Structure 1
Amino acid sequence: MLMHLNKHIATRFERCAGVSPNRLELLCKLTVGQISQSDLQKAVSIDPAAVTRHVQQLEAEGILLRTRSESDNRITLVQLTEEGRSKVVKFKEEKERFLEELQADLTESERLGLIQGLQKLNSQIQQMK
């Protein structure tokens, strides 16, 4: 049921916000500044090939910029462009709106119970690794 719900939430979120949850997570990691592409991949739960595809597509859209490290030419550095920074702000606003709409029919008690249940599942999955 969680996997089914996750699939539907991701699809609806992308339609609403104009960005996939994975891509938004990747972009949010870049708000701290320039980061190596390998460190970016480690910071998000996305496989390396997918990170490379996202980075290439986002660069083509003018949202981020890739450069080579001056100290080590093997390292690719990634950073948001100004356009990218403004898009991230808009994406975050859409995310908040989406989450509010998603939870609109839940009582405060139900929201708290959901959060606690998800935290327990997250803790359990961490122990399983």
Structure 2
Amino acid sequence: MHLNKHIATRFERCAGVSPNRLELLCKLTGGQISQSDLQKAVSIDPAAVTRHVQQLEAEGILQRTRSESDNRITLVQLTEEGKSKVALFKAEKDRFLEELQADLTESERLGLIQALQKLNSRVQLIIGNKQD
């Protein structure tokens, strides 16, 4: 957890966006989505998603509208400025990850990816068992 927190802090300093906010923004690159579906698609607390959405709307990065077919549904999408910023954030993320892995050999990188994929699968299995 300490490593994750340390990496997240450094990432935000380098990329200008938190990993959580970038995850949320990347989900919006596919087009308009309901805020409810967005909350389900990201691994962020629903209250935090609402705060992010409100702040990003205030910054002009995304916009919220009401669904024409169901006024209870809030739709979220990136603005043109938001699309440009997401592209910059993704480029910074790629640069950060390259720098982070600079001292790893190709074999070490592959091993790390495989280990992280196994851990992720195990976490998903544990979460699935707790929801049953």
Normalised by the shorter chain, which TM-score bucket? over 0.9
Q: Which residue of 1 is the match for residue 51 of structure 2?
A: 53
Paired residue for 1:120, among 101, 118, 123? 118
Paired residue for 1:26, among 24, 27, 32? 24
**Gaps in structure 2 of 5+ consecutive residues:** 128-132
- What is the CA–CA distance in structure 2 between the aligned matches of 1:27 and 1:122, rounded to whole Å? 22
Pairwise mapping of residues 16-95 of structure 1 onto structure 2 (< 5 A)? 16-95=14-93
Question: Aligned pair 1:11/2:9, yes or no?
Answer: yes
Structure 1 stretches of at least 4 aligned residues deviating more than 6 Å after TM superposition: none
Paired residue for 1:106, among 104, 108, 122? 104
Shift of 1:112: 0.9
| Count of residues in correspondence between the two structures | 127
- What is the CA–CA distance in structure 1 between the aligned matches of 2:77 and 2:124, rounded to whole Å? 30
- What is the CA–CA distance in structure 2 between the aligned matches of 1:127 and 1:32, rounded to whole Å? 27
> What SS does structure 2 have at the residue aligned with 1:46?
coil
What TM-score, normalized to structure 2? 0.94
Shift of 1:45: 0.6
- What is the CA–CA distance in structure 2 between the aligned matches of 1:63 and 1:55, rounded to whole Å? 9
Shift of 1:8: 0.5
Shift of 1:123: 1.3
> What SS does structure 1 have at the residue aligned with 2:94?
helix
Listed one character per residue, the Cα deviations across residues 28-77 of structure 1 (whole Å, up to 9, x for unaligned) are 00011110000000000111100000000000000000011111111100
Shift of 1:116: 1.0
- What is the CA–CA distance in structure 1 between the aligned matches of 2:115 and 2:33, rounded to whole Å? 34
Identical amino acids, percent of aligned pairs? 90
